[in-house]
Amino acid sequence: MSYLVLARKYRPQKFQDVVGQQAVVRILRNALRRKRVAHAMLFSGVRGVGKTTLARIMAKALNCHHQDEDVPCDHCSSCAEIKAGNAIDLHEIDGASNRGINEIRELQENLRFLPTSERYKIVVIDEVHMLTVEAFNALLKTLEEPPPHVFFMFATTELHKVPVTILSRCQRYELRRVALNDLLDFFARIAVSEGVKITDGAMGIIAREADGSVRDGLSLLEQIFSFGGESISEDDLTQVLGLVDGRVFNRLAASLLAGDTGQALTLLAECYGHGMNMKRFSFGLLQYLRGLMICKTCRNPTELLDVSDDEITVLQALAGKYSIETITNIFNIVFGGVDEVGRSSYPRMALEMLFVKAGQAGGVVPLAGLLGRLDSMLAAEPRPAAAEIIPAENSGVPPQLKAESEAVPPVAEVVKINPAPLEPVQEPVIAAGEDIDFGGAGNRAEQDSESAPPGPEKEAAPPPPQQLEPVREISPPSMPLERNWLGFIGHVKERKRWMASALQLAEKVDERAGELVIKFDDPAECLILQDVDNLKLLTEFAQDFFQKELMVKVTAAGSNGEDDELDKPMEERRALTRDPVVEMVVDTLGGEVSGVRTGPRSR
């Protein structure tokens, strides 16, 4: 007798022998027990999970002479003929080679006659999605009203290619990939039956390489049995299958995470010299990085990783040395380049460039981390006394508010609002009842010159600043928004210093119908504040400080049709770039205008 390969020798002959498809098996057995078997069944799933096997077992159960409820006896003449593949009333058709309408018409003509020796005629069409549209259409009427002595069983790996009209006439069974533990148990039983000793590590590699397919795993076992004889180790598998040792991936991942590109390229050269397939190599590295990511984020990674406990320990040790941001950066770079490596005619060079990119990104810190560090550094700095704070020259705080700003946290050294030129003269004192203009810098300069007291400026002694209560203790409705603004910035500064620094660059602040509108001259200055999370946080700060419901809106000049006054500086700057004198200087020096600055602002 000729040699029988493992895939045929150990093909399941009963429902209880099927590996990893307990749910589908239960449905089929209950249908047989209760006489509720559908006249057309469609089995779908990846290769090697038992689609055709279940169809044959169902055929045996339907025609078995000594059926025990839902289990075929596997000994009668009908079961023996189906097992041997020579049953007359079982029509097994390959959909890839018999896909035309003529073959389907011939089949329909044959189905008109009663079974020759069995109870039913069974039609099994493998890879049914390969049939032509005309062939499917020819099957529709037969599937809808089949003869009482006919059962159809279809199998396909691409369910989406089967027409909906066919799917609606069939009872569908979707077979899943076989779990790793089920494969390990099944392969271990076969190894014992064949008298071959395989280490646990080698068996795990075979099960993982099978990727949920029993037939693929049996093909690997066949190859390994022929190579290793009576004893098989992990080294044998690495040599025969061209696999990369997990220790190589560990060293390679550590090199990329540490930014050691030279070491990574050296390891790649060694693997290439041993004849490793570069596409398979890159996919293996991606799987290893996935393991690192899972070990970093999950408390129980064994449920998600099909590796041994020793390998998980190694993964956890490496993942513990780096942040999740660093690991995900490397993973994303490798993930984006795996397909390119597979398509490239020069996969080694594609992988080398991929490693260079990954090595450069190993130490990249995300923006959120930088902001957190900035907050920590600013919080650790000693806070100077309020009396020692001198407002910056271009802070943009109106002179009338300087005496009152001493009662709030010092912020003028960071932020500026409506900058205006200040002369080194004694600042006038404005009575509390007078109106304050928080607007244009030109009007403010005129007010300063008109309200200056006569007499020599150096001899005029300013009155002592009046001691005021903290701004936050004053009821918000009783004080104008512009006079509360410095207090609000101080309130924000105590919580997020970088956010207070960004707020002090605002050009205009206004309250409109429950909205706190903060407008900037330069869109780049408010970009980070317009982030959804930062805007939500700023809204919470505003509601906490002003003690009322407010929605914060951050805009830039030119973003809408409002506040034309803020758009004028931008228009003036654009006009300056088109000035004939500027154009002549640019042409003479051969340069370009990188920016236009007007007035006393210095950024």
Q: pLDDT tens, 449-479?
A: 444 444 444 444 555 555 444 444 333 344 4
Asked whether 357 and 380 are in contact (CB, 8 A), the reply is no
Whole-angstrom distance, CA of residue 329 vs CA of residue 161: 37
What distance in Å separates the CA atoms of residue 501 and residue 375, rounded to the nearest whole number? 11
pLDDT tens digits along 385-432? 444 444 444 444 444 444 444 444 444 444 444 444 445 444 444 444
Q: What is the pLDDT of residue 425?
A: 45
Structural tokens at position 306: 């099909």
Distance (Å, whole) CA 11 – CA 19: 10
Q: How many CA atoms lie less than 13 Å away from 428 in the CB half-sphere?
A: 16
Considering only residues 448 and 39, tell me which one the structure prediction assigns the higher pLDDT.
39
Least trusted range by pLDDT, from 413-422, 506-515, 524-533: 413-422
* Alpha-carbon gap, residue 27 to 37, rounded angstroms: 10
Question: CA distances (Å), 165 to each of 37, 93, 125, 374, 474, in order?
Answer: 20, 21, 17, 63, 74
pLDDT-derived band at 571 (thresholds 50, 70, 90) equals low
pLDDT confidence of residue 277:
84
Question: Which amino acid, residue 510?
Answer: D
Q: How many residues does the chain have?
A: 603
Higher pLDDT, 387 or 206: 206
- Give the model confidence (pLDDT) of 189-205 as tens digits: 999 998 888 888 888 88
Q: The tokens of 490 are what?
A: 């101080």
pLDDT for 399 = 42
- Three-state secondary-structure class, residue 171: strand
Q: Which two tokens stand for residue 279?
A: 């596409």
Q: State the average pLDDT over residues 517-530.
A: 83
Residue with more model confidence, 66 or 418: 66
Distance of alpha carbon 484 from alpha carbon 471, whole angstroms: 7
Instruction: Assess whether pLDDT exceeds 50 at residue 78.
Output: yes
pLDDT of residue 404: 46
Q: Which residues of 2-35 are buried (b: 16+ CB within 10 A; e: fewer)?
A: eeeebbeebbbbebeebbbbeebbeebbebbeee
Tokens 């390994």: give the residue: 224
Indicate the residue type of 37. V
From the CA atom positions of the chain, what is the Rg in Å? 39
Please name each of the domains of the chain with its CATH number. 6-174 (3.40.50.300), 180-241 (1.10.8.60), 246-361 (1.20.272.10), 392-422+480-603 (3.30.300.180)
pLDDT of 594: 67
Q: How far is 521 from 572, CA to CA, in rounded Å? A: 13
* Residue 578 token pair: 């088109």
By percentage, how much of the chain surpasses pLDDT 90?
26
Extract the tokens encoding 391: 């407002």
| pLDDT tier at 243, thresholds 50, 70, 90 | confident
Rounded CA-CA distance 496/539 in Å is 13
| The predicted structure's pLDDT at residue 475 | 37
Mean pLDDT of 476-498: 74
pLDDT at 403: 43
**Range in 138-152, 367-381, 414-428, 525-539 with the lowest mean pLDDT:** 414-428
Tell me the C-alpha to C-alpha distance, in Å, between residue 588 and each of 335, 514, 575, 580, 591.
50, 54, 20, 12, 8
Q: What's the one-letter identity of residue 65?
A: H
Alpha-carbon distance of 259 to 218, in angstroms, equals 41
Tokens at residue 432, please? 């509390």
Q: For 79-107, how does the pLDDT look when each residue is reduced to its tens digit (9 = 90+)?
A: 989 988 888 999 999 988 888 899 999 99
